[in-house]
Chain A
Amino acid sequence: MSIIKFLNEFTTDNLEEKRTSRRAVFGQMGELGKKVALAAIPLGLGAMGNKVKAAGPNTINEDHISALQLALTLEYLEDEFYLKALDSGVLAGNPRAEAVYMQISKHESAHVAFLQSVLADNSVDKPTFDFTVGGAFDPFNESGVGQETAYAQLLALAQAFEDTGVRAYKGQAGNLMGVSDGAVLTAGLQIHSVEARHASEIRRLRGLDGWITEKERGAGMPEATQAVYNGEENINQAGVDVTTLGSGSPFTSEAATQAYDEPMSGDTATTIASLFITT
């Protein structure tokens, strides 16, 4: 399912407005290219340009836009989640967690603004989120589940969102190849590694390793989050079984699965995000 089709199920009007004729889309692509190039310059990417042969045709197509729209949707979700978490008071009394959430929140807000500037007219609107998943969770202690339980759920949801973000960006990397001499791909990778930093810290706040072993979601993670981790047990990397490359601790299935994060398809990322989207 493409992100456009997915969002169309949740929104009644915005995508019909956004949906444009093929000709108009190509016009917007030219604009996108310019905006990407502009956005890239302050990041120092502009200076790198031109010398490198582009990995593919240097044009923006619907795959690129869909990938960036999926990214923006996930960033909207994370951005709103961290803002509500900080506003909820649930983190009070946990200065480290509060500081970590503030830093992550700052980054997710910046990611939203950055992707909006890159997508420009192709930006999707922010969905309406329900972080209780219909009342199953109470991460902001709105229904009085209590600070302790709310705090545990707040951290568990953050872990699920960050580990999903890492996998989802990775899954879209191939779709971002070859635009503006790689500037869009590079920007995607630059967000991707920040999500991985977040994931590591949230996991460690929860008492886990910063990296994922096999397909374990980790102690205290709700069963509903298992979809975030399925597939992480892969040991076949580009046709190589990475448990057979030597002997000793680096080649156990534990280490060999920790050492590689696995990509997630756009469909899977969409399914996970849709749990938290009402309209």
Chain B
Amino acid sequence: MKSKLVLNQKISGKTPNSRRNFIKVSGLAMAGAGLLISCDDDDMITDPNPEVFDLGGGDLGVLNYAYALEQLESAFYTRVVNGSYWSGASGEEQMILEDLYNHEVNHREFFKAALNANFSEEQILPESLEFNFADVDFSSRDSVLGTAKVLEDTGVLAYNGAGRIIETADYLVMAGKIVSVEARHAAAIRSILGNDMDDYLAFAGDDIVDSNGLDGALNPSEIIQAAGGFFSTPFTANQLP
């Protein structure tokens, strides 16, 4: 396993290729492995890292996955309603974004409660994932609404794709109860984003609904890859498609 620690040792070693140094470096690397979790260097290679949470498979995996997405949406709208665009936005836009904040926080807490009621603590995704919104300008209407559109459309794609992985009908109904609200959100955000003729169609535009009149559906691996930039806390979905 490599880390910044190992690289530094190699650089400072007088004869990095000698067997003696190699053993020494390896020993440090082993000792340093425990420190990896606190090392945020981009160059470090962490696979396979047992410290990274895996969402699990089946119903557990889908619930953890939904919990991760709802944590992301909640964190985003929490920043939005505390940001300067929101405080100066029109009444309609303020109300819509505040409703979305309320709904996503409720969804997040629902998944936390549902997971805790049915699974043991070590199986449940941590409740305090950290997110990276460095690319979002919370003072900008275009940036906030554009990001909201991406997140809501992603939510629809994610729940639509996850439905078939769910094993228990009750959980499928729960996913159904939430995905249609995400779709209502997506339509509303798309609707207020635009103002001219073409944008009248944006609520369910040809860019998102196909020629069969169907929304998309993506696998967890595709969603996590697409939304990965928002997640500062790494996790894996090795048991989900």
Contacts of B82-131 to chain A: CB distance below 8 A? 95-96, 98-99, 101-103, 105-107, 109-110, 112-114, 117
Known: A173-B172, A200-B188. A194 touches B213 (CB 8 A): yes
Tell me if A114 counts as interface (CB < 8 A to partner B): yes
> A177-B172, A186-B163 known; 7 other A-B pairs, CB under 8 Å?
A55-B167, A100-B201, A108-B213, A183-B164, A189-B159, A211-B184, A237-B114
**A100 CB to nearest B CB, Å:** 6
Contacts of B162-187 to chain A: CB distance below 8 A? 163-167, 169-174, 176-187
Tell me if B147 counts as interface (CB < 8 A to partner A): no
Q: Provide the bound-state CA to CA distance between A41 and B219, in Å.
A: 15
Interface string of A229-269 (1 = CB under 8 A from B): 00000000111101001100111100110111111000000
Q: Are B215 and A194 closer than 8 Å at their CB atoms?
A: yes
Tell me if B26 counts as interface (CB < 8 A to partner A): no
Main secondary structure of the interface of B (DSSP, over half): helix
- Size of the chain B interface, CB-CB below 8 angstroms: 62
A-B CB contact pairs (8 Å), 5 listed:
A186-B160, A193-B179, A197-B184, A211-B103, A249-B101
Q: Provide the bound-state CA to CA distance between A183 and B98, in Å.
A: 35
Contacts of A158-196 to chain B: CB distance below 8 A? 166, 169-170, 173-174, 177, 181-183, 185-187, 189-196
Which stretch in B8-16, B29-37, B42-50, B203-211 binds the other chain?
Answer: B203-211
Q: Are B187 and A200 closer than 8 Å at their CB atoms?
A: yes
**B41 CB to nearest A CB, Å:** 34
When distances are taken between beta carbons in the complex, the residues of chain A under 8 Å from B216 are 44, 190
**A139 CB to nearest B CB, Å:** 21
When distances are taken between beta carbons in the complex, the residues of chain B under 8 Å from A256 are 106
Q: Provide the bound-state CA to CA distance between A267 and B39, in Å.
A: 58
- Size of the chain A interface, CB-CB below 8 angstroms: 71
In chain A, what residue has the closest Cβ to B184? A200
Q: Provide the bound-state CA to CA distance between A193 and B177, in Å.
A: 10
When distances are taken between beta carbons in the complex, the residues of chain A under 8 Å from B3 are none
Q: Provide the bound-state CA to CA distance between A255 and B106, in Å.
A: 8
When distances are taken between beta carbons in the complex, the residues of chain A under 8 Å from B98 are 249
Interface string of A82-125 (1 = CB under 8 A from B): 00000000000001100110111011111101100000000000
In chain B, what residue has the closest Cβ to A178? B164
Choose among A106, A210, A242 the residue that contacts B188 (Cβ–Cβ < 8 A). A210
Q: Are B106 and A201 closer than 8 Å at their CB atoms?
A: no
Chain B contacts to A: CB under 8 angstroms:
95-96, 98-99, 101-103, 105-107, 109-110, 112-114, 117, 156, 159-161, 163-167, 169-174, 176-188, 191, 197, 200-201, 203-205, 209-217, 219, 241
Q: Are B110 and A173 closer than 8 Å at their CB atoms?
A: no
Choose among B107, B113, B163, B209 the residue that contacts A189 (Cβ–Cβ < 8 A). B163
When distances are taken between beta carbons in the complex, the residues of chain B under 8 Å from A43 are 210, 212, 214, 217
**A56 CB to nearest B CB, Å:** 8
Q: Are A250 and B101 closer than 8 Å at their CB atoms?
A: yes
When distances are taken between beta carbons in the complex, the residues of chain B under 8 Å from A95 are 197, 200
When distances are taken between beta carbons in the complex, the residues of chain A under 8 Å from B109 are 242, 245-246, 250-251
Q: Are B187 and A174 closer than 8 Å at their CB atoms?
A: no
Q: Are A103 and B159 closer than 8 Å at their CB atoms?
A: no
Tell me if A227 counts as interface (CB < 8 A to partner B): no
Tell me if A18 counts as interface (CB < 8 A to partner B): no
Q: Provide the bound-state CA to CA distance between A238 and B107, in Å.
A: 12
Choose among B96, B184, B213 the residue that contacts A196 (Cβ–Cβ < 8 A). B184
In chain A, what residue has the closest Cβ to B109? A245
When distances are taken between beta carbons in the complex, the residues of chain A under 8 Å from B110 are 237-238, 240, 242, 245
